[in-house]
């Protein structure tokens, strides 16, 4: 019987593992189907993690984290978790190899994945000029021109953010109107260095071995236009990795919002006692490494108290 099962080995899961084990829990296992580190390991450069100076990749940033956690007793099991269920006050972890593991508490941090827009060159140049995070990568294009793809709240807010540091932002949207909040749309239209490229879709991102050099867009009449930019940001939505919380009856183990994000309180507690959700999969997630790590620490401290009270009264 585990004191705590941690599902997901990104910044949230690793930090939860560090805090639970260092905080006194002796039987904690982190389940991660691949190598620990999470989505941030795909980033080519990190500049906004506190205390990190100089050039460092996402892989470099995350490399020491598992060793630090395991020093305090965190176990890592490299297996996919298919489902988490609960019977009475005991959780069951259903693993991809057909085995199960019981636990007193569970911290889930399986994250989310940005949707790809599906144009040519998107995968080839992802991390080399194509990005899904303006807060993470926008600074690299300070004083340069960039393109933003999307028409929702996130796309417009990120375009406004980029407009503060870039000389020009081309906002490419497939329609001629936006479904974002009216005040956001008004701010967008009043921002002089944002050019709206409407009724258009990305056709291809192109570049060289150094990265992106431009994007070709196609309007509703089929006319192509080349826009020379070194950076392209896509914001066409995120898919939450919430499959492990789905039950056989088609319902989730805890309360979720319409987007499939886990509803938590300020302590990362879900609607189900003993279950905590962290990082990009929870509501209102900032989708930053430092925030995910903070979530993991908060959840872990709650778990320590929860397990102690459960076992010792």
133 belongs to the catalytic site: yes
Name the catalytic one among 133, 153, 203, 308: 133
* 39: number of Cβ within 10 Å: 21
Tell me, yes or no, whether 146 lies in a domain: yes
pLDDT at 170: 98
Is residue 72 located within the same domain as residue 8? Answer: yes
**Domain identity same for 244 and 108:** yes
Q: DSSP class of residue 121?
A: T
For residue 255, the domain's CATH number is 3.50.50.60
- How high is the pLDDT of residue 95? 98
- Judging by DSSP bridges, how do beta strands 4-7 and 28-31 pair with one another? parallel
Query: What's the confidence (pLDDT) of residue 251?
Result: 97
Which residues, given as ranges, of the chain have pLDDT below 70?
44
For 242, the enclosing helix (H) or strand (E) is: none
CA separation for the pair 135, 137 (Å, rounded) = 6
Active-site choice (3, 4, 69, 137): 137
- Using the 3D structure, point to which of 210, 234, 258 is the last residue of a domain: 234
Strand locations in 88-167 (E): 90-95, 100-103, 106-108, 112-114, 130-131, 145-149
254 classed as catalytic = no
Same domain, yes or no, for 242 and 227? no
The three-state secondary structure class of 194 is strand
Residue 157 lies in a domain: yes
Condensed to tens digits (0 to 9), the pLDDT of residues 99-118 reads 999 999 999 999 998 888 99
Q: Which of 136, 166, 254, 280 is catalytic?
A: 136
Distance (Å, rounded) from C-alpha 87 to C-alpha 229? 55
239, containing H or E segment = strand 238-240
Whether 119 maps to a domain, the answer reads no
Give tens-digit pLDDT for 179-218.
Answer: 888 988 999 999 999 999 999 999 999 999 999 999 999 9
Q: Does residue 100 share a domain with residue 20?
A: yes
- Quick one: 66 and 156 in the same domain? no
Let me know if residue 122 belongs to a domain. Answer: no
Structural domain ending residue among the three candidates 178, 212, 234: 234
35 and 171 together in one domain:
no
Same domain assignment for residues 220 and 242: no
Asked if residue 146 and residue 100 are part of one domain, the reply reads no
Are 150 and 235 in contact by the 8 Å Cβ rule? The answer is: yes
Evaluate whether residue 100 is within a structural domain: yes
H or E segment and range at residue 275: strand 275-277
Taking residue 168's Cβ as centre, other Cβ atoms within 10 Å add up to 16
Angle 133-137-140 from CA coordinates, rounded to 5°: 155
Triad 7, 12, 14: Cα angle to 5°: 75
Residues 256, 205 within the same domain: no
Asked whether residue 123 is assigned to any structural domain, the reply reads no
**C-beta separation of 105 from 274 below 8 A:** yes
CA-CA-CA-CA torsion for 310, 2, 28, 97, nearest 10 degrees?
Answer: -150
Give the end of a domain, one of 178, 211, 234: 234
Clarify whether 136 is annotated catalytic.
Answer: yes
Residue 225 shares a structural domain with residue 250? no
The pLDDT score that the predictor gives to residue 193 is 98
**Which pair of structure tokens corresponds to residue 40?**
């941030």
Could you tell me the residue range of the domain that residue 161 belongs to?
130-234
Same domain, residue pair 263 and 295:
yes
Q: How many distinct structural domains can be found in the chain?
A: 2
Q: Domain check: are 16 and 53 in the same one?
A: yes
Residue 121 counted as domain residue: no
Residue 91 is assigned to a structural domain of this protein: yes
């Amino acid at each position: 019987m585990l004191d705590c099962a941690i599902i997901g080995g990104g910044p949230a899961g690793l930090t939860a593992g560090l805090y639970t084990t260092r905080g006194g829990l002796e039987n904690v296992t982190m389940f991660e189907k691949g190598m620990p580190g999470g989505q941030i390991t795909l980033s080519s450069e990190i500049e906004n993690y506190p205390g990190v100076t100089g050039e460092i990749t996402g892989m470099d940033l995350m490399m020491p984290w598992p060793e630090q956690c395991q020093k305090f007793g965190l176990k890592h099991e490299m297996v996919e978790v298919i489902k988490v269920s609960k019977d009475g006050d005991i959780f069951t972890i259903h693993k991809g190899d057909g085995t199960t593991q019981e636990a007193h508490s569970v911290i889930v941090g399986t994250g989310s994945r940005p949707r790809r827009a599906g144009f040519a060159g998107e995968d080839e140049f992802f991390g080399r000029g194509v990005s899904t995070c303006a807060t993470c990568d926008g600074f690299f294009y300070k004083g340069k021109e960039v393109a933003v793809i999307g028409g929702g709240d996130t796309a417009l807010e990120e375009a406004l953010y980029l407009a503060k540091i870039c000389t020009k932002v081309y906002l490419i949207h497939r329609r001629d109107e936006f479904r974002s909040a009216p005040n956001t749309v008004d701010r967008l239209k009043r921002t002089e260095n944002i050019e709206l490229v409407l009724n258009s879709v990305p056709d291809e991102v192109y570049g060289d071995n150094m990265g992106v050099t431009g994007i070709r867009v196609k309007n509703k009449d089929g006319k192509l236009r080349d826009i020379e930019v070194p950076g392209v940001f896509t914001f066409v939505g995120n898919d939450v990795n919430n499959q492990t919380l789905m039950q056989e009856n088609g319902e989730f183990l805890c309360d979720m919002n319409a987007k499939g994000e886990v509803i938590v309180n300020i302590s990362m507690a879900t609607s189900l006692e003993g279950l905590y959700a962290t990082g990009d999969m929870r509501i209102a997630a900032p989708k930053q490494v430092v925030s995910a790590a903070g979530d993991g620490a908060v959840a872990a401290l709650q778990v320590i108290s929860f397990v102690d009270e459960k076992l010792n009264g």
